[in-house]
Amino acid sequence: MDTWDLKPGHANGGPFQEIATSVPGMKISEHLPELSKLGEHFSIVRSMHTKEGDHSRGTFFVRTGQRPGQPFRYPALPAAIAKELADDASSIPGYVSILPNSFINPPAFSSGFLGASREPLTVAGTADYSPEDLAPKEDAPSDDQPVKLRVDNLLPPEDLDMNRIQRRKQFWNLLQESYGARRRGGAASTHDTVYRRAMQLAESDLVEAFDLTQESDKTRRKYGVDGFGQGCLMARRLLERGVPVVEVSLSDGLAGLSWDTHIDNFTGVKSLSERLDRSWSQLMLDLKSSGLLDETTIFWMGEFGRTPVINNNGGRDHFPNAWSCVLGGAGIQGGAVIGKTTEDGMEVADRPVDAPDLLATICSAVGVDPETENTSEDLRPIKISEGSPIKEMLA
């Protein structure tokens, strides 16, 4: 209600106002002015309706399409899509996750029964910036540096020359061939997969994509110096090099739950929206200018919405009954608004959409059949999504 489905004039609406977008009739928050200029490239679902209002359970449900607590280790959608889109013969990872909130529910961010080879490559970072750093600056002082993002152990130790590294690799291969050949399953197989994948990546050209110092200072600041801004810049560099699936989290606030605005909601959401607007719009503009937007589907979502009724602390609490998300780019009918909520925002009034339907829509947009089956540990066939795509959203 403070981003994509405002209720100006209603007691539940709060102080934020709507602004027009580049698409007639589509209006969004006044704190998303740059995205409003790109309305023809995205569509809004205003009728999300789920039943999990707990962070952990909600995260698992929207990322897997499955209810938490079941006996199977279901894969997160990014891992399942990466399995279909990635080239297994390539050194490029299928799935990179930048600053993920995986502590909320680790299985919700895993590859589940797809195995260790489908686990995301995780990019960590620091969040040592002050609020004044978040404003874009053309001539910022040298000590005002962007957040640093890193992939742990991507580069070899500085005290080892290449000859020693190659000898160690040969020795490791010798041990794996003797020990691993007799123990192909379980922990030994996982260990072997992870190590080979790491060595393959460290020796590839993709290493440069993680080095944001190769970008100009002006470009880095256009994206924003916070973790989300630098993450969007890194995502662009990864997409340019062919990484199939990249996700970036805007969640580097208190306990990693920036959008959990139980207190002083409107101050928090204004700041978050401004950060989202700057970084996401810049990513979309860069993808558009390079032609990659025609090949890249963009998806924005949380694990649930926020209560229409403002609490006694000026905040909004957890609310899965009626909320919004956004899809854009390749495979998406830009400028569409799917569903609507009641005037008070308490209920979905038209075209309810559940998490499995949304995940099926994403699959269809990127060219993956949502009914594609993978085999669980007990040899049971499991579809990527059991929902139905939102046909009116697909291009």
pLDDT given at position 155: 67
CA separation for the pair 351, 47 (Å, rounded): 6
pLDDT given at position 34: 98
CA separation for the pair 270, 275 (Å, rounded): 9
Tokens coding 101: 């909130």
pLDDT tens column, 230-285: 999 999 999 999 999 999 999 865 456 789 999 999 999 999 999 999 999 999 99
Q: Which has the closest alpha carbon to 6: 257, 266, 264?
A: 266
Which residues of the chain carry a pLDDT beneath 70? 126-144, 153, 155-158, 180-187, 190, 194, 252-256
Per DSSP, the three-state class of 292 is: helix
Q: Is residue 2 in a domain?
A: no
Per DSSP, the three-state class of 271 is: helix
CA separation for the pair 347, 164 (Å, rounded): 64
| Total domains in the fold of the chain | 1
Q: Are 96 and 123 in contact (CB under 8 A)?
A: yes
Angle 232-78-356 (CA atoms, 0-180°, nearest 5)?
A: 120
Q: Is residue 10 in a domain?
A: no
Q: Which has the closest alpha carbon to 339: 34, 46, 22?
A: 46
Q: How many residues does the chain have?
A: 395
Q: Which has the closest alpha carbon to 150: 207, 229, 82?
A: 207
Domain CATH for 144: 3.40.720
CA separation for the pair 186, 179 (Å, rounded): 13
Q: Is residue 184 in a domain?
A: yes
pLDDT tens column, 281-331: 999 999 999 999 999 999 999 999 999 999 999 999 999 999 999 999 999
CA separation for the pair 322, 50 (Å, rounded): 8
Q: Is residue 349 in a domain?
A: yes
DSSP 189-230: HHHHHHHHHHHHHHTSGGGGGG-GGGS-HHHHHHH-SSHHHH
Distances (CA, A) of 281 to 32, 93, 180, 209, 367: 9, 25, 48, 20, 24
Q: Is residue 136 in a domain?
A: yes
pLDDT given at position 207: 87
pLDDT given at position 269: 96
pLDDT given at position 117: 84
Q: Identify the domain containing residue 207 by its residue range.
A: 18-393
Q: Is residue 138 in a domain?
A: yes
Sole residue written with tokens 């909600």: 58
What's this model's pTM, rounded to 2 decimal places? 0.88
DSSP 235-261: HHHHHHTT-SEEEE----SGGG-TT--
Beta-carbon contacts of 282 under 8 Å, excluding residues fewer than 6 positions away, are 34, 222, 223, 224, 229, 232
Q: Is residue 314 in a domain?
A: yes
pLDDT given at position 41: 97
Q: Is residue 190 in a domain?
A: yes
